[in-house]
Amino acid sequence: SEQPVLRKALIAFSQNVILKQALSHHPLFLRFSRRFVAGETIEGAIQATRWLNDLGIAVAINYLGEHVNDEAHARGAHDVYCHAIEEIDRLGLQANISVKLTQLGLALSDHLCAGNLASLALRAAKYGGFVRADMEGSSYTQRTLDIVKRVHRRSPNVGAVIQAYLYRSVEDIRDLNHLQIPVRLCKGAYSEPATIAYARKSDTDRSFVRLMEMLLLEGNYPAIATHDDWIIQQAIPFAHKHGISPKRFEFQMLYGIRRPLQRALVEDGYRIRVYVPFGEEWYPYFVRRLAERPANLLFLLRHLLE
Ligand code: FDA
């Protein structure tokens, strides 16, 4: 139950601009970030995708970046994703893309952002591809879902993400299931107040299982995004008991986390997709991964001190 407090403190600490400048150029930080980030260019992401595909693991490629505050940068991110979509098709990769709407201009205008997302969905549709809108901090939840729903009306190859720590998620899952919008369920990685989100890990875990069951029973190809053994051990018998074939859902995990578990699930006949981020803006993503697990941070601090 202390973990959310530590997570909040770490995220707040890492947002310090001076610290960010110092750490994001530190060689050890750069090296350790490679465990979670596939490199700064699309080539790194393609290489990681090939390696994972060879193991029977599909990929969601993410171009790191968020909170873009001018139209040119939003357009630039859109163009990088267009290139990624073309490469996935050209190289025959088992991959789709996962985008942050604030990188496509959500902070500037819903219209701009929805246009960029719709354009990516159309391109991906040409090769039977799929585009997922990641979920960010709670100030964007409603607008993100509204945009996904709007784009989904024309492009069914678009999906959403729901965070189990938010109290509102039960209603959101009901709504998305009703519309048959594919959902990725995750615990949630941002620092949120107790007025809107569970603060204790055990409450978030229970909420996850409840939402997961709703998705498995009534959702459209849900993605169960977690590295948590306890949750995976709830999902498998639940699906079995309700006659839900392993082809009707997938597990998702992050690049560099619990690789043996990823392989074991493939061997057991489950579908796995790994989220592979790349790009120069790796710092906020990397800090969220560190904040999730004190052991990661301690490992890094020990080496920094040495
Ligand atoms: P939990 O944090 O309880 O970890 C369970 C176990 O997994 C740990 O005991 C440890 O063994 C291992 N583990 C977890 N994190 C680790 C780490 N950083 N380093 C090493 N080991 C670790 N969030 C969000 O807010 N919006 C989003 O769009 C997404 N998208 C997304 C996609 C995918 C594919 C995944 C897997 C996750 C996300 N997330 C996310 C992140 C998610 O909300 C959550 O923060 C992390 O997945 C960690 O939670 P777990 O479910 O793994 O459980």
With a 6 Å cutoff on the Cβ, whether 258 touches ligand 1 is: yes
- The residues, ordered by sequence, that sit 6+ positions from 119 with a Cβ below 8 Å of its Cβ are 78, 82
Task: Quote the ligand 1 centre to 263 CA distance (angstroms).
Answer: 17
Please work out whether the CB of residue 250 comes within 6 Å of at least one atom of ligand 1: no
Residue 293 Cβ inside 6 Å of ligand 1? The answer reads yes
For the CA of 228, the closest atom of ligand 1 is 5
What lies within 8 Å, CB to CB, of 22 at 6+ separation is none
What does the alpha-carbon distance between residue 280 and residue 205 come to, in Å, rounded to a whole number?
32
Tens digit of pLDDT for each residue in 236-291?
999 999 999 999 999 999 999 999 999 999 999 999 999 999 999 888 898 888 88
Neighbouring CB atoms inside 10 A of 149's CB total: 15
Selected residue with higher pLDDT from 280 and 7: 280
> Percentage of the chain surpassing pLDDT 90?
78
Q: Which pLDDT does position 2 carry in this prediction?
A: 45
Q: With CA atoms as reference, report the closest residue to 91 among 147, 144, 137, 47.
A: 47
Mean pLDDT of the chain: 93
Question: Considering 184, 271, 288, 289, which one is annotated as catalytic?
Answer: 184
184 a catalytic residue: yes
- Nearest alpha-carbon partner for 94 in 51, 134, 63: 51
User: Shortest CA distance to 227 belongs to which of 197, 253, 188, 194?
Assistant: 253
* Ligand 1 centroid – CA 52 distance (Å): 19
CA 151 to chain centre: 19
Nearest-10 crossing angle of helices 110-126, 71-91 = 10
Cβ 135 under 6 angstroms from ligand 1:
yes
Lowest mean pLDDT among 10-14, 116-120, 287-291: 10-14
Confidence check: pLDDT of 202 > 80: yes
174 an active-site residue? no
Which residues have a Cβ under 8 Å from the Cβ of 255 and sit 6 or more positions away? 36, 37, 38, 48, 274, 275, 276, 277
Ligand 1: does its nearest atom lie under 6 Å from the Cβ of 253? Answer: yes
From atom 1 of ligand 1, which residue's Cα is the shortest distance away?
228
Judged against a pLDDT cut of 60, whether residue 21 lies above it is answered with yes
Q: What is the DSSP letter of 247?
A: G
pTM here is 0.94
The 10s digit of each residue's pLDDT in 34-90 is 999 999 999 999 999 999 999 999 999 999 998 898 999 999 999 999 999 999 999
Q: In this predicted structure, what is the pLDDT of residue 1?
A: 41
